[in-house]
Structures are given as C-alpha cells and as structure tokens.
Amino acid sequence: MMPAQVAAPDGVLLILALMLPSIGLLAIFVLGHSRPERIALPVLAANLAVALIVALQVGHSGQAATYRLGGWLPPLGITLRADGLSAALIAMAALILFVVAIYARGNFASKAGGSESRQPMVFWTLLLGLSTALNTVFLAQDLFSLFVALELLTFSAVPLVCLEGSRETLRAALRYLLFALAGSVLYLIGVALLYGAYGTLDIASLHQVTRADRATSIALGLMIAGLMAKAALFPLHLWLPPAHAGAPAPASAVLSALVVKAPFFLILRLWFDVAPQPQPVIAGTMLAALGAASILVCSVLALRQARLKLMVAYSTVAQVGYLFLVFPLVMGSEAAVPWASIGWTGGVLQLVSHAFAKASMFLAAGLIAEAMGHDRIDDLGGAAEAVPISIAAFALAGLSLMGLPPAGGFVAKVMLLTAAVVSANWWIAATILAGGLLAAGYVFRVIGRAFADPAGGAPPPKAVARSRELAVLSLAGVALLLGFLPLQPFAYLGIGQGGMP
C-alpha cells in the first residue's frame, strides 16, 4: 500500500471521530466536575461537524475514506474505514446524539454553582462514551476491534438504564448486562474460531478467503446469534422492554434509536462481507422469519401495554424486526451486487428513519410523562392541550413507524415491499403490511387518548420547556424529510462497498 494513501487527509477525520468524544469524556473527569454538560455539548457538536464532513467527503470523492493506525497494515495494524453506509450512519448517530444532548439539558443540567452531582456526571460521560463506541462500531474493520467497540457500547449503555437508581431499573440494567455479555461471549468464540481458521480478522481479508466449511459455519452461527441477543430480536428480547422503559427519556432515546442498531450493522457486515458467497437461502429465510415474528408478536404486545414507555420499547423490538427482513430480499433480487438492490437500500433506510422516529418518540414520551406526571396511556386525556408540540412530534414519528407517507418509514416500507414482490416473498410483504396496521393501532391509541378530555380530578399538567419540545419535533421532522428520498437504490450507500482492498 502506498504511504501517500496512509496519510490521506480524509482519513485523519476518522481518528478524530473516535478521539473527540473520548477526549471529552476524560476532560469531564479532569476539568468539569461541576458542569459536565458544558464540555459534553460542544464535544458532541464538534463530533457532529466531523461526522458531517466525513459524510460529505465520502460523497464528494465517491470513495471510502481509510485510516491505518500508525501506518500498520492488517493483520497487524488496525484500519478505520468509512464507506457510504458507515459515513451515513456516523452522521445519523452524531445528529441524534447532539439533539438528545440539547434535550437532556432539561433532565441533567447541573445546578449553577452547585457541587458535583452523580446523575449529570454519569449521564454526560456515558453519552460521550456511547458516541465513541458507535463511531468505532461503524468505522472499525476487524472483528476483534468490533468486539471491543460493542463491549464499550454495552458498558456505556447499561449504567444509563439505571441512572435513576431504583431497584427495578438496577435489576433491568443487570439483566441487560448479563444477556449482552452472553451474546458477546458467543461472538468472541466465533472470532476465535475464525482466527484459528483463517489467521486474520480483517474483514476485507476475510472477504477473500472464507470458504463454506464447518468452522466458518459454526463461527458465523455463534456470532450472528450473539449479535441478535444484543439487538434484542424476538425471542431474545427479554432485556429490552424493562431496560428501555426504565431509563430516563434521553437515555431510552439513544438506546432504542442507536444502540440496538450497532449489532444489526455488524450482522449486515458479517452476512455480506464475511460469510462465504452465496449465502445459503435457508439461513436468510431464518433471519427473516425471526424478524417477521418480532414484528408481529411485539407489535401486538405494544398494542396491549398500559404504559407509554413500555409500548414504545416493544415497538422498538418490532421495528428492529423489519431490518432482518432484508436478507432474503437481497438474495432474491436481480441486482448484481447487494447494495444496488432496492431491498438493501430499503433496509438501511428503515434503520435510519426508525432511529430518528424512535428517538423522537421516546423523547416525546418523556415530555408527556413530565407534563402529565405519569405515562399511563389510558389517562393521557388532555395531553394534547398540555404539550401539543410533543404530541405532534409523537404523531409524526408514529407516521414513520406506521409507514404512512410522507414519512421516511413509508419510503423504506415501499422499498422493502417492492423487493418482497420482486423476489416473490409474499409472506414478507404480508408481514410488512400487517406490521404497519398494528403500528397504526398502537400509535393511534396514544394519539386518540391524548386528544380526549382530561379525566376529572387529574392534577393540572406541568409546563415543559419549549426548546426541548422543539428538539423533539426536529427529530421527527428529519424522519419526515427522509420520506422525500426517491424510491430507488441510493448510489451514496454503495460507495466503497465493492472495492474492498
């Protein structure tokens, strides 16, 4: 490899995407005991700027940006690489984290002149930790670095669940941690097997050498199952509802919107870049079947929840199910390469639009609960009067989940449906449509209650800051804007996919 490429200027930004949040995290420990948000907010803003510049550069050059740490080549060195998909995802993560941070000033702003307090301190450092971990997951190129990144993600996410410190949330956090660890350890065994078989963990190198033999199958099976546990795919979702529903709203938003997407992203990479080609149809169908079960079962469960946050949490499990429908759709398409197929694009768009919609929905649910003093769906009467912007944001985000136009979820759903029809997977088409109907059911249930008259004797709703409501609305707005993307594979997401070094 030419040294000139090692020092390519766009590559430096990738290391910055990893370093910035970590430096911010350390800076809070060193400098900012009393006002952690004063450090975290600018750092997240800078992180957003870096992510956007990387995304623009990748789009501009039409090539993946690469950085090799210390100039060492794989398998000894560690490579960071942003192709079109990774660049889009780090931009998405950075934007959501930034908006969530703006919102979270209302929850975790430390009091002026006050001494260090535990909750804000923990929240802001972990938010920066999450940012580092997510950027690493999206940029790292070898399976072991990805393992470390996933662990970092889990360790940042788990304490966010129990910020409140109550026994129930601690228990939810512990359950989350233990199940995630079970998943990680399966993944780690898979990594060991792959290393034993091929002597490398670099994805690009593995791409060229993997063969369909026993060791590879077992390794991939263990890794995919482990990642599924972390992505909370049905029936491995036991930890998600209590964890996501118990966390404070900004934490839930990040957990549901971003954290569960990271393991899915890895499954995507394992499937398309590591698994020997062509991937067996039966395995793809199994992935989609679990996804379909997730959609149907967890949508019904969401419909039956009494608490708003639990409803949104179950909806996350259902929506993650849509992502897993991608595998047989891509295999059944006529496109020459997966990323040129409409199913792959639809899956990625579903991931992104769900991230924005779900972040908005959890934040809105948080504001609704703050205003009303509870989050029992049946008693939400009057919420539309008390927090109209939050309800509007909730409804707009709901449009995306239901897959109604003009939301991003609609475009994603149409793409997935098209791919399902083209590949004659009618059962997938039916599942997508049924999932949309069920989602409409649970979203309208909330909206309908919010517009009802307030119950007699209910305490008057508290006011919430307008800026926080607008932050929520802006996320829903992004989910809506995604609906104006054209219904065809995006060239951007294919950048750097085929030409792996």
Partner 1 sequence: MSAPTLYGLCAAALVGIGLFGLILHPTPLRKVISFNLVGCGAFLFFGIAARRGAGAGFAGDPIPQALVITGIVVAFAATALAVALILRMLEAGASTVDAKPLPPDDLSP
Partner 2 sequence: MTASGLLIASGLAVPLGMSLACFWPGVRERALGWIWAAPIPALLAALFARGGGIVMSPEPLRLTLALDDVGAMLLGGAALLWSAAGFYAATYLRGQPGTGRFAVWWLLTLAGSLGTFMVADMTSFYLAFSVASLSAYGLVSFETTARAKRAGDVYMALALLGEAFILLAFVILALGVPIGNPLIREAVAALPSSPLLAPALILLVLGFGLKMGLAPLHVWMPLAHPVAPMPASAALSGIIVKAGVIGLMRFLPLDAGLPGWGGGLVALGLFTAFYAVAVGITQQQVKTVLAYSTVSQMGVVAAVLGAGMAAGAPGTALLAAFYALHHLLVKGALFLGVGIVAGSAPRHRILIVLAMGVLALSLAGLPLTSGALAKYAAKPLFGDGLAAALATLSAVGSTLLMLHFLRLLREMPAADPDAAPEAGILLPWAIVALASLVMPWILFQPVAGYALADLFEAKALWTAIWPLLLGGVLAIALFRIGRALPQVPEGDVIVLAGTLWPLVQATGRQIETADRWLRQWPVASAMLIVIAISFALAL
Q: Is 407 in the site for partner 2 (CB under 8 A)?
A: no
- Which residue in 55, 229, 251, 258 binds partner 2 (CB under 8 A)? 229
Q: Which partner from the list partner 2, partner 1, none does 172 bind, CB cut-off 5 to 8 Å by kind?
A: partner 1
Shortest reach from residue 125's CB to partner 2, in Å: 30
Q: By rule CB under 8 A, what string of x and - marks binding of each residue 27-66 to partner 2?
A: ----------------------------------------
Q: Is 172 in the site for partner 1 (CB under 8 A)?
A: yes
Q: Is 181 in the site for partner 2 (CB under 8 A)?
A: no
Q: Is 114 exposed, middle or buried (0-12, 13-18, 19+ CB in 10 A)?
A: exposed
- Which residue in 165, 405, 448, 460 binds partner 1 (CB under 8 A)? 165
Q: Is 312 in the site for partner 1 (CB under 8 A)?
A: no
Mind giving me the DSSP string for 388-440?
A: HHHHHHHHHHHHHHHT-TTSHHHHHHHHHHHHHHHTT-HHHHHHHHHHHHHHH
**Helix H or strand E segment including 65:** strand 65-68
As a whole number of angstroms, the distance between CA 296 and CA 431 comes to 7
As a whole number of angstroms, the distance between CA 394 and CA 397 comes to 5
Nearer to partner 1, 151 or 385 (CB): 151
As a whole number of angstroms, the distance between CA 272 and CA 266 comes to 10
Q: Is 311 in the site for partner 2 (CB under 8 A)?
A: no
- Which residue in 58, 85, 87, 197 binds partner 1 (CB under 8 A)? 197
Q: In which residue are the tokens 């999206």 written? A: 138
> 3-class DSSP state for residue 232?
coil
Q: Which partner from the list partner 1, partner 2, none does 8 bind, CB cut-off 5 to 8 Å by kind?
A: none
Please state the length of the chain.
501
Shortest reach from residue 304's CB to partner 2, in Å: 6
Q: Which partner from the list partner 2, partner 1, none does 168 bind, CB cut-off 5 to 8 Å by kind?
A: partner 1
| Residues 194/221, Cβ–Cβ less than 8 Å | no
Q: In which residue are the tokens 């993307």 written? A: 485
Nearer to partner 1, 163 or 349 (CB): 163
As a whole number of angstroms, the distance between CA 341 and CA 489 comes to 6
| Residues 256/362, Cβ–Cβ less than 8 Å | yes
Tokens of 191: 């990594």
Q: By rule CB under 8 A, what string of x and - marks binding of each residue 237-276 to partner 2?
A: xx--x---------------------------------x-
Q: Which of 106, 101, 137, 103 has the alpha carbon at shortest distance from 28?
A: 101
Angle, helix 308-323 to helix 426-451, in steps of 10 degrees: 160
- Which residue in 162, 311, 331, 368 binds partner 1 (CB under 8 A)? 162
Q: Is 225 in the site for partner 2 (CB under 8 A)?
A: yes
Q: Which of 420, 423, 447 has the alpha carbon at shortest distance from 433?
A: 420
CA of 265: how far to CAs of 7, 272, 292, 324, 397, in Å?
27, 11, 18, 11, 22
Nearer to partner 1, 245 or 331 (CB): 245
The conformational region for residue 435 under phi > 0 = left, psi -120 to 50 = alpha, else beta, is alpha
Residue 80: strand pairing partners:
67, 140
- Which residue in 23, 45, 109, 171 binds partner 1 (CB under 8 A)? 171
Q: Is 393 in the site for partner 2 (CB under 8 A)?
A: no
Q: Is 126 in the site for partner 1 (CB under 8 A)?
A: no
Q: Is 100 in the site for partner 1 (CB under 8 A)?
A: no
Strands 65-68 and 79-82: antiparallel
The CB-side HSE value for 187 (13 A sphere, CA atoms) comes to: 27
Nearer to partner 2, 78 or 170 (CB): 170
Q: Is 374 in the site for partner 1 (CB under 8 A)?
A: no
Please, which of residues 57-76 interact with partner 1 by CB under 8 A? 75-76
Q: Which of 405, 429, 431 has the alpha carbon at shortest distance from 483?
A: 405
Q: Is 310 in the site for partner 1 (CB under 8 A)?
A: yes
Please, which of residues 199-218 interact with partner 1 by CB under 8 A? 199-200
Alpha helix positions (H), 62-117: 84-108
Q: Is 301 in the site for partner 2 (CB under 8 A)?
A: yes
Tokens of 294: 């997730």
As a whole number of angstroms, the distance between CA 116 and CA 111 comes to 9
Q: Is 128 in the site for partner 1 (CB under 8 A)?
A: no
Q: Is 114 in the site for partner 2 (CB under 8 A)?
A: no
Question: How many residues of this chain interact with partner 1, rule: CB under 8 A?
Answer: 45
Q: Is 148 in the site for partner 2 (CB under 8 A)?
A: no
Q: Is 412 in the site for partner 2 (CB under 8 A)?
A: no
Q: Is 484 in the site for partner 2 (CB under 8 A)?
A: yes
> Can you give the binding site for partner 2, defined by CB under 8 A?
175, 179, 182-183, 186, 212, 216-218, 220-222, 224-226, 228-229, 234-238, 241, 275, 279-280, 282-283, 286, 290, 297, 300-301, 303-304, 404-406, 413-414, 417-418, 421-422, 429, 433-434, 436-437, 440-441, 444, 451, 453, 484, 486-488
Question: Interface residues with partner 1 (CB under 8 A)?
Answer: 75-76, 144, 147-148, 151, 154-155, 158-159, 162, 165-175, 177-178, 181-182, 184-185, 188-189, 191-193, 195-200, 241-242, 245-246, 309-310
